[in-house]
Structures are given as C-alpha cells and as structure tokens.
Structure 1
C-alpha cells in the first residue's frame, strides 16, 4: 500500500490549480444565431419616447365633480351618436352634462364596417329617429383622432356642441371621412371656428398625442368602450333613458 500524500501537500496542489485557472483567459460565450439575432434587435430598437402634450392642447378634465355627468363618446359609434344628441338636448335644458372624446378603436388605419357596428346601428335606429337623426350604414370606420383634436379646439372656443352635432351628421348621414383634414376644416368653417387655429391644431402632432394619451388614461381608469357615462365616480352605460339621465344628474 502506497503512502498517502501529506495534507499540506494536498492543500498546496489545490491552491496551485486555482491559480492556473485564473491565469487562463475566459472563453467567449457561445451564442446561437437566434440568440444573436435577439441581441441585435434589442440594440437596434430605440427606447420609446414619451410625448408630453403642449400646454395649449391639454385634454379636458375627465369630470368627477359631484352632480356633473361626463359622457365619453366616439364618432364611429352609432350608440354614441344617439347618446350625444340626447345629451346636447338635455344640456340645453340645464342638465349638467359635459362630453369628452374617446378614440375607441385605437387602430391608426381605416377599417371596414364590422358586424358589431351594423348590429348596434339596427338596435338604436328607433332611438336615433326620436332624436332627429337619420343614421345610414357607413362605408368605413375612419380613424377619429383628428376629429377629437378638432373637437377640443371647438370646445375651447365654446362651440363643442356645434362641432359634435356637425361631425356626427357628416359621418352618419353623408358618409364623410372624419380622418380627412379637408373634411374637418370644412366642418370647422361651417360652425364658425377659426380656420388658422383649427389648421394648426390638426397639423400639431402633440395635439393628436394629447387625445391618445387621454384615451389611454381613461382606459386605465376602466373605460373600455363608448358611450360611457361617469356620474358620482361611477361608470355606467352611456345610452340611458332620459328619466334615468335626469335622476343620475341629481345630487
């Protein structure tokens, strides 16, 4: 039987082995093509930029004042068309209602009319006639962000109700493209808005960013579609019977 190595010699050998390992250069990490591709993509993708609306285009308040109803709406919703017409009529009678635009579809491209919209159109046809609206089948679902920009301009000029009435009728009765700047400028001129101010707002990317930022904030607060009413800090469906609206506006 051979002699066992002394404990001290064993310890020295372990230390020497560790030193030899430290002196060796590190091996490059192996990466397959897929992993390299993901790394390159991360490096090539710029960080997202936070767009802050300019002071002149701050979105209107979401409206949480006790006794004030806020109606969120979008132009390509037939139910919104009826709810807005009803809200305008009741507001003219003194009911405390404010209206805020909400870009419901959230896709930056014109879409074909969906089965849901057609079903909604049929469901509200009688209520629309009662409000004096003749809702026709639209050709497309345009992007409504710029229409809401123009609405904010009109609201600031005290012409918000006139703008909404004109825009809803143009889309639902005349199949107007509310994503077309020339259409929006024509409507703005018809209701007496300042052409230069409206043009500047429609050309201002920050104004459109403000509309979309507002929509994003409202989605996070629980608004998923239109029309939606906010009253006494509670969200309810936007197309309510007139008596219910009056009761909701009470203290």
Structure 2
C-alpha cells in the first residue's frame, strides 16, 4: 500500500487532482473489519469532541495496582479495531491501553483533517485522565498517528511518547511531484522541538513507505530527550510482540533518568 494514498494521484488527471488532503485518509468501516484478539477483547468506549462528534474507541483498563496507561494513535488507514490488534502487546505487565479513533474512521461521524484529528486526540487524552486520574500517561503513534502523538505530547504533560514509522512532514512523505498540492502540514520536524518528554523513535531499516533517514532528521531536531531505535530489517509496521516490553523498559529508564520532565497533568 502506498503511504496516504498519494501515489494514486500520479495517475489522476489534472481535473481530478485537486488538494491532496482528500486522499490522505483511508478509513475502513467496522463492518468490513475482521479482527481476533489473543486475550480478552477490549472494552468499547466513546468520547465526545469539542465540536460535538461522538467517537468510538477501545480500552483495556490497567490491572489493579498498575498506574500506567498508553493512548495509541493509529495511522492513516483501517480503523481503531485493527490498531487494537496491533497494539495488544502493549498490555504487557497489566498496563492499560486506550485505542483512540478519528472522525470519519470506522463508523465515526465527520470528515478527517489535521485540525480534526487533533481535536479527536484532545478528547481521548481527556478521557484517559478521567478513566485513570492518577496514572502515568504515555502516548504511542504509528505513521500518521506519530504526528498526532507528538502534537499531543507538545500540548500536554505526559510521561513519555513513542512513534513508529514517523515522517518529518506530510509534504516530505509525498512524492515530489505532488508536494505542491499537499495542504495539510503534520510537521513533525517542528513539533518535536516543542516536546519536553522522553521520545522514543522506532523505525524499520527497510521501511518502504517512510525513508528511515527521516527518523535521523527527527532525532536531530528533537535533541537530547530523543532515543532512536533502528528496527533492523523491519518495514513500515513492525509487530510489537517482541518490542512491547522493550518500549516500556525504555520509557521507564528515561523517566528514572529525568523524572522532572516525566510528570503528570495537574
């Protein structure tokens, strides 16, 4: 699959090209989604956005005595149930996992946009705080979701953030011919400079969708609080089965080294 559906525009006529934004998002309805979880399936959960949309997500509460919860932001395609299957390994150790969803994805109302996805993410962050007021809050974002996770980390006081397959900006991720038509920013190269929490950048060395060199640029822009992990031989998505425990260990190690930047929201 070509990232963000942008390469499809290479065969479009000039009359149908238009802004690329409409091709950025590739949601799949829940009716067309078949998923199977290894353990107990997550709970269904909803949030209401500031502009009045009700969005459906999924939630695994933390085990009793566990004070860690990660909010997971999906990429540009499929829906939150597909991401839930992918993110299930993050439950390791009884941690809580909250699967955010976006407007226009699955069976959610609305039309996705950069501003809209940020509104959606704000609602999910607030929901996480409501569900577990005293928990340490972490963010994980895949591909386009990495941009959402970084923006939320820049706006909110969270414990740590991780991305997989993040790009420097949406325009950079598009084929050169199409960059003049890209109207939305998702400028991770700028956003990452505003994040004070520990950042874990995961990137497959054989990522066919996002050039691994973008991770190098993000690491440089993010400075000392960034840890980049090259996933040797990995593509755009690398299964979390063998990575989840290491992600949590990295987050906790960073938190122990610099607890001042790994606080909780007031």
Q: Which has the higher strand share?
A: 2
Ranked by relative contact order (alpha carbons within 8 Å, sequence separation 6 or more), the top structure is 1
Q: Which has the higher helix share?
A: 1
**TM-score, structure 1 as length reference:** 0.26
**TM-score, structure 2 as length reference:** 0.25
Structure having the higher Rg: 1
